[in-house]
Structures are given as structure tokens and as C-alpha cells.
Structure 1
Amino acid sequence: MTISRLTLQNFRNYPQLRLETAPGFIVLSGDNGAGKTNILEAVSLLSPGRGLRRAALKDIAYEKGSGDFAVAAELGDVQLGTGTSAEYPERRKTRVNGAAVPTNDLAQWLSILWLTPAMDRLFMEGPSGRRNFLDRLVTALEPDHARNCTRYDAARRERNRLLADDYMPDTEWLEALDRQLIKFGTAVAQARRRITQALNMLLEETDDGLFAAAKLHLDDSGFHEQEALLHALKANRQADRAAGRTLQGPHRADLTVFHSTKDQAAEKCSTGEQKALLFSIILAHADLIARQRGSRPILLLDEVAAHLDPKRRAALFGKLSEKGGQVWLTGTEPELFDDTPDTRLHFKVSGGKVTMR
């Protein structure tokens, strides 16, 4: 999975940008605020979801532009594009080879993983961020997962609206919505279980001491089984109506990560250990994608080199180089990337302009 050309229009601080890229390391260095992460965000939008910043679409468009934006990429003879129009700035449209497709279909063409400084808080904040993180991992391997999540959430919103009605809800419609929740909810929960189990097996196999050994635990209350979800939905209707929302289901699941060597939950580990745990998960997941899909995902690593000592940084670059695939890296100091292969493409980013170093 390699982007050979990336084109931006009216994206963040880029009125226009075209980058010719290649397999291997794509390094973007420059001062804070120059626009390095904006480029990674553009690449991340070539996958389902809201990108690595989870930003509102209206906030992505170039401030001095017409209110729309576009991101396009070439992958061999395949062209991907996504963006908005000035007329509908909150509606994202996606095309593959010129044909309109649902945005979730991007997962059929690209698997993209990322690590950003904001993810350092993943283990300390609420479960929604960890669910989103896990769902991205699943979608990279099972593209239909994003669609199942969307359909489950749509059915749940409609069920919540129906339960919140002042009148007695339409029983037949409620039963129909419950069937949708069971169908898509169990599919979501089962996919999450599959990826969690597969990652745990691979993490145990490939622990090389480079980063903290991670172990994942999914708390989904058994809702991967249809009977369990059916019982919860029926038993809690009165409580759900009083609360105005569906209180139980896969949307309440949580992912817990442990430092397996110390047998300690990630939220109790040091900041450095938490970062190392994230590294180990992302690297193992990239290996899992390569095994199951036959090609490595695109990795977006934002400001990761600055958090590693020189020895571990060199070891990371060596491992990434050995594995292959396209890796996008950002950092403020060009010297941080001296240990990357000589074949890297190293760009200087300054004031919304990108030039080759």
C-alpha cells in the first residue's frame, strides 16, 4: 500500500500542494506550526472515519478559501479522492477512480495506522477514545467493520429517539430496531474480539524487548453473542426509556491494555511506558495486516522520534525499514532522522510550503 502522489487543495494551511512520493520513509521536518501534521491528517482522511485529529469538516478547509477542501492520492493505477464542496461544507464525498463511493469503502483500498502525541492520553481518558482506537485497528483488517459500526450507531440513535417519545413507543418498530442492533452489534463485538485475540497472539510471539510488551483485554459484557444482547435490550427497555438512551450494548465496551511483563494496567504505568505500549500495539498490528491482507499498511508517525533515546530510535527505524511499506514521519529536527535509510524522501516544511531537503 503506497501513495505515489498526494494532492491537497484548500486543506488546512495549504491552498495547494502536490507531493510525489515513493515506498519507504517519507520524512517531514520543520518548526512547530509549519504544517507537518496537516499532511499526515490529509493522508489519514483516505481511510474511513474523521482522520487522526477527528476534526469537524468545516475546520479542515483553508481559512482564506471558498470553504471546501479536497485530498487526492494515486496508488498505482488507482485514484482516491475525498473532500467537501463549498455548498455542503459538512458533507464529505469520496471517489475511487472518479466514481462516487461511500467513504467507508476507502478501507477496501488502504489500511492506514497512526500514532500522534494526542494518543498519549489514550489510557488515561474515557473508554470512547479506546473504542475508536480499537475500531480503527479492526477496520484496517476487516473493511466491513466501519459499515457495521455506522449501521449499529444509526439504529441506536433511532431507538433512543423512539424511547424518548412522550407516548408509548411503537412496539413493532422497537422490535425491528432491536433486531438491527442485534445484527450489527454482535458483528461489531465479534470483530473486536477477533482482532484483540489475534493481536495478543502476535504480541506474545514477537516480543523482542524493543518496546514494552502489551496485552489487550476487551470488556464487552458478552455482547458478541446474540442472545446476550437480545436479553439486555429487552430487559432494560424501561431503564433505557427513563434514561433516554440505550444503556447496554457494544457501544459501552472498553479496551484495557496491560504491561504484560509488569502485569500492570497501562493507566498505572509511566508516560514513557504508555508510549512504548502504543508502539508495540501499532507495530504488531502492522505485521498482522501484512499477514492477512498481503501488504503492509501505511504508517503515520507524528513526532515519535523525539520521545525515543538514540538507541531505541535507531532500532525502531531499523525494524520499520526491514518490514517495508510506506512510513510517514514528522519531527522538528532533521537530525532525528539520520538513522533512516538513505533512500528516504526528506521534505522541509515551512509556512505551508514543502520542499525537498
Structure 2
Amino acid sequence: MLTAGISSLQFSAFRNYAQLQLELRASLIVIIGDNGVGKTNILEALSLLSPGKGLRSSKLSQMTTFDITPLPCWTVAANLKEDGFDTILGTGLEYTSSGSEKRRLKINGNIVRSQADFAEHLNVIWIVPAMARLFQESGSIRRKFVDRMAYAFDPTHTNRLHRYEHYLRERSTLLREGRGDSTWLASLEKNLAEDGIAIVHARAEVVRNVTEHQPTDSASPFPRFFAQMRGEVEEWCRHMTAVAAEEKLRLAFANNRTQDAHTGGSVFGPHRSDLFVKHLGKQIPAELCSTGEQKMLLIALTLAFTKVQMEQSNRVTLLLLDDVIAHLDSHYRHYLFQELCQMVEKGAKLQTWMTGTSLSDFVYLKQSAQYIRIKNTTLYDGYDDNDS
């Protein structure tokens, strides 16, 4: 029985679906189908109910169903069930009078301006195949991974990020064009320092919590890890008060105006931070681990996050696992399934959505999950032994 999560999902003109409606009744949802039938598209629609561009980071117009003429504007709506109450979250593509694309956001039928409003009701985190290279990619990818976790505990985190990026762009433009007076620049740098230190603290707190909540039982096949946000500003914050760190960052911005005018951005700030992860069993950084070990570390981080969420946040979390199970042997799969089931049994406001091509990979969940099978773009509800 579903106590917290998405109880219904509808979308139109989205990717390969002209229309889709799902009624959900479980905390574990398994979507089975061949490659290319649209499993990931369903998870992408769910990911758009959170701040950001979704799990593919696509342009809004790229999500439209292209075999319909004229090209329609896609819509996604979901009924969020929590503590006996229902909240309708909706988003979609619309065009402004000038023809530019725009994201429409609604909660209970009322238009809202900020994607952060979604984070007040729902947190969404995902693992997709592209993230297998999380520890090999640029620091910006890892920062986004941490920021999605930070939204779960502080929805205003996304507003701070947007403000910080806006102030940084405005300062860069003024410095490049040489038209900003010192008072104007000083005001921007003060705002940058305040939001920047708040961002650093929010990231550090969530990473610390994730590290402390990783499984400690000997039965866990997933590697233990040490995780920490690193950067020059992070070092300041570890050794001084927030007020002192703000002042030091403000002075760093002021003292580096000439250099920043030539290079753009800033030498200092949370946009330079990175997530460091060490495999404790091997005592080596994650980026030096094998591809398989990196995948296991990513799952271990995500499992630890769900435990933090269960203990410290009142919001519902959607955990989207796209084609993750295929890379795990039976021991890893059973442990992961067991952990997810136990968290729900203990009262976690967690709904997990998993995709795969083989029903047999999910047979362990036969009594607890809702199965959605996709064949030739048609969706079927329920477990079918003939597909095992």
C-alpha cells in the first residue's frame, strides 16, 4: 500500500508518449521493457518535478513528441500522496509571445514562479547510466549531484544557487566591460560572499551526513567510503566562523577583480568546489577505482542519502534507478532490495522507481513492488510469470 509517493502520473506529448496515465499503489515501482521503448522517459518526466532540467538536462523543446504535427507543448502532472493529503504538481513547455521556450510550473492548479517551490513538497534523486562516470567527469557534475541532495533538507538551497550564479554573471559582465563602479561591485561581492558561504555549508552538511549514514553492517556488499566537499573556501569554513569566512571571500572577490576581468568568473567561490570520495576498503580515491567499483560507490552514496532523508526530512523522496540493477549480481541486488524495503517498513517517505529489461532481475520484489511492463509502447500493469 502506498503511504507516501506519486499515486498517479499523467503526461502528454512527452518524448515517445502522445498520452500516458499511470495509477500507482506501491512504494516500489518496477518498469520492465526492451531497450528503446520509453522506460527512461517515464523517469525523466518524474525528474522534472524537481528543480533543474531533469535527468537528461535536455532543452525543453527536445522533450516534445516529434511525430505529432504541429509540434505540441508537452505537459507532466502527478498526484503526490503524503500523510493522507494530495498535492498536484504540474509542469510543461510553453512559448512566450517572443517565441522563446519557457517552463510552466503549477502546484494544485496555481502557477508558481520558482522551481524551488517543487522542492518544498518533493525531493527527486536519480542514478542513470551516464552517471557511471560521475567520478571521471568535471567537478560541476559532482556539484550538481550534491546539490540535488541538499535540496532535500533545504529547498532554499536552489534559490541561493540561482542568486549566486546571477550575481557572478553580472559581476563578470561589469568587469569585462569595465563599466561597474566600486560601490556596485562591492554590493555584488557582498551578496556573492553571503550566498557562497551558505552554499558551502549546505553542501558540507549533506555530504557529512551521507558519510555518517552509510551501512556499517558486515552483510553490506557495497564499499564503505569517505566523502567530503573540497576547495579553498571549504578549507576556510573548516577553520573559521561563517561570518569570518564571508568576509574573507568578499575580500578575495575584491582583490581579484583585475584577474577575474580577464579570465571570467572568479578564482574563488563554491563554483570551484568538488566532491571528493575515497574507497575505504582500498584506501584510494574514487577516480582511481575500477568502473565497477565506481558504480558500487555511487549506489552506496545514494543508499546512505536515502537513510539521511528518512531520519531528517519530512518531504517525500523519489529515488529513480535507471537500468542500475542490470550491473549488479544477485547478492548486490538482494541487499539493495532489502534495504529499500526495510526503509519503507520503518516509515521512510520513499518511493523507488526502477527500470530494467529482465523481469527475473526483480523477482525478489514480487510480493512488494508494482510492475509496469512496456511492450510495443503499450503499458501493462502487473507481474507476468511468462515474462520472467
- Scaled to the shorter chain, the TM-score interval is over 0.9
SS of the residue aligned with 2:294? helix
- Please state how far the C-alpha of 1:295 moved relative to its aligned partner: 5.6
1:12 correspondence with 2:15: yes
Distance in 2, matches of 1:20 and 1:297, equals: 18
Of 23-32 and 206-215, the range deviating more from structure 2: 206-215
Contact residue 32 and residue 358 of structure 2 kept, 8 A: yes
Match of 2:34? 31
Distance in 2, matches of 1:17 and 1:232, equals: 52
Structure 1, unaligned stretches of length 5 or more?
A: none
Distance in 1, matches of 2:158 and 2:218, equals: 29
Match of 1:60? 63
Contact residue 233 and residue 270 of structure 2 kept, 8 A: no
What CA deviation, in whole Å up to 9, does each residue of 1:313-339 have, x standing for no partner? 122112111111311110011111111
Distance in 2, matches of 1:63 and 1:296, equals: 33
Matches within 5 A, 1:192-211: 192-203=203-214, 208-211=219-222
Among 170, 177, 184, the residue aligned to 1:173: 184
Q: Report the number of matched residues.
A: 356
Q: With the length of structure 1 as denominator, give the TM-score of the two structures.
A: 0.95
- Please state how far the C-alpha of 1:112 moved relative to its aligned partner: 1.4
- Please state how far the C-alpha of 1:288 moved relative to its aligned partner: 0.4
Among 215, 220, 225, the residue aligned to 1:214: 225
Q: Which amino acid aligns with 2:157?
A: H
Match of 1:259? 279
Contact residue 93 and residue 103 of structure 1 kept, 8 A: no
SS of the residue aligned with 1:300? strand
Distance in 1, matches of 2:224 and 2:308, equals: 16
Distance in 2, matches of 1:132 and 1:116, equals: 14
Task: Tell me the percent identity.
Answer: 38
Distance in 1, matches of 2:233 and 2:294, equals: 27
1:145 correspondence with 2:157: yes
Matches within 5 A, 1:1-357: 1-65=4-68, 66-76=71-81, 77-87=86-96, 90-101=101-112, 102-165=114-177, 167-203=178-214, 208-222=219-233, 224=237, 225-294=245-314, 297-324=317-344, 325-357=350-382
Distance in 2, matches of 1:252 and 1:73, equals: 36
What CA deviation, in whole Å up to 9, does each residue of 1:252-291 have, x standing for no partner? 1111111012211001111111111111110110110111
Contact residue 215 and residue 304 of structure 2 kept, 8 A: no
Q: With the length of structure 2 as denominator, give the TM-score of the two structures.
A: 0.88
Q: Which amino acid aligns with 2:274?
A: D
RMSD: 1.7
Q: Which amino acid aligns with 1:38?
A: N
- Please state how far the C-alpha of 1:352 moved relative to its aligned partner: 3.2
What CA deviation, in whole Å up to 9, does each residue of 1:81-104 have, x standing for no partner? 011125556211211111111112
Q: Which amino acid aligns with 1:78?
A: T
Distance in 2, matches of 1:51 and 1:168, equals: 37
- Please state how far the C-alpha of 1:231 moved relative to its aligned partner: 2.3
Distance in 2, matches of 1:303 and 1:287, equals: 22
Match of 2:347? none
- Please state how far the C-alpha of 1:5 moved relative to its aligned partner: 0.2
Of 305-314 and 239-248, the range deviating more from structure 2: 239-248
- Please state how far the C-alpha of 1:222 moved relative to its aligned partner: 2.4
Distance in 1, matches of 2:128 and 2:179, equals: 47
Distance in 2, matches of 1:346 and 1:40, equals: 14
